[in-house]
């Protein structure tokens, strides 16, 4: 299964990606996670990306695409993958299509996580991420009173770009640059919308149902 998750920041892509990828036994490839690992590792790529990420802007396409090409060339991605956070604009989607054609494969399905703006802001404002295992939590929805990851004991942190002003800018960037992907993939006839409101497990169940025609 070759799958892409799209949806605004805070829709629950990273959260659902963890479960869907594990259910399907495919690698989860989150460009935001790869950038953050490079930022904390102090690499050249991290230094370049940080400036854009802190502002809530997209990292330039050539950098992002080269990074994804390298990741998709790794052996664990040959039989399937779940992309979370890529593509994020139509040029990236067009290049992904060509890249997969070169590899002799194609996307099976693009799942759009649908959730309204108010819920997105609530989700982002309370998001906490584990500095050790990368697992995503929410202060209210997961009732996190301490800053400790229940999965691995690591310390949770609030992402620099989850501050109110940056959140607003990221939502604008989503509307301008990423939302057009929905019609792009609808035209390709591989788009399926999933209601992403309600408890995490219910959303996972809806996503798995939407994917079921492709998993047999």
CA atoms within 13 A on the CB side of 180: 11
The reply to whether 35 sits near ligand ADP by the rule CB under 6 A is yes
Among 2, 28, 50, 170, binds ligand ADP (CB under 6 A): 170
SS3 call for 209:
helix
SS3 call for 129:
strand
Q: Rounded to an integer, what distance in angstroms lies between the CA atom of residue 95 and that of residue 117?
A: 29
Q: Rounded to an integer, what distance in angstroms lies between the CA atom of residue 62 and that of residue 26?
A: 26
Residue 47 annotated as binding site: no
The reply to whether 14 sits near ligand ADP by the rule CB under 6 A is yes
The reply to whether 58 sits near ligand ADP by the rule CB under 6 A is yes
Residue 169: which residues within 8 A CB-CB, separation 6 or more? Answer: 55, 56, 57
Q: CB nearest ligand ADP: which residue? A: 32
- Given a contact cutoff of 8 angstroms between Cβ atoms, the answer to whether 170 and 9 are in contact is yes
Among 3, 11, 20, 190, binds ligand ADP (CB under 6 A): 11
> Residues forming the annotated binding site?
10-15, 31, 36, 57-59, 85-88, 92, 127, 130, 133, 149, 152, 159, 170, 198
Instruction: Report the interface residues with ligand ADP, using CB under 6 A.
Output: 7, 9-15, 31-32, 35, 52-53, 56-59, 64, 85-86, 88, 92, 123-124, 126-127, 136-138, 141, 161, 170, 199-200, 203
């Amino acid at each position: 299964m070759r799958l892409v998750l799209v949806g605004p920041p805070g829709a629950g892509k990273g959260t659902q990606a963890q479960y869907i990828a594990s259910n399907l036994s495919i690698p989860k490839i989150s460009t935001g996670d790869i950038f953050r690992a490079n930022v904390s590792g102090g690499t050249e790529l991290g230094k370049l990306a940080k400036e854009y990420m802190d502002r809530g802007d997209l990292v330039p396409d050539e950098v992002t695409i080269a990074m994804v090409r390298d990741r998709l060339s790794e052996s664990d991605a040959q039989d399937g993958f779940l992309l979370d956070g890529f593509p994020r604009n139509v040029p990236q989607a067009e290049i992904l299509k060509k890249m997969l054609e070169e590899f002799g494969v194609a996307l099976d399905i693009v799942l759009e996580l649908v959730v309204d703006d108010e819920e997105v802001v609530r989700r982002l404002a309370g998001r906490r991420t584990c500095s050790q295992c990368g697992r995503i939590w929410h202060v209210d929805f997961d009732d996190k009173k301490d800053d400790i990851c229940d999965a691995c004991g690591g310390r949770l942190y609030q992402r620099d770009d989850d501050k109110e002003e940056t959140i607003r800018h990221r939502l604008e960037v989503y509307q301008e640059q990423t939302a057009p992907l929905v019609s792009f993939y609808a035209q390709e006839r591989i788009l399926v919308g999933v209601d992403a409101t309600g408890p995490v497990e219910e959303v996972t169940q809806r996503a798995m149902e939407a994917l079921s025609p492709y998993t047999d």
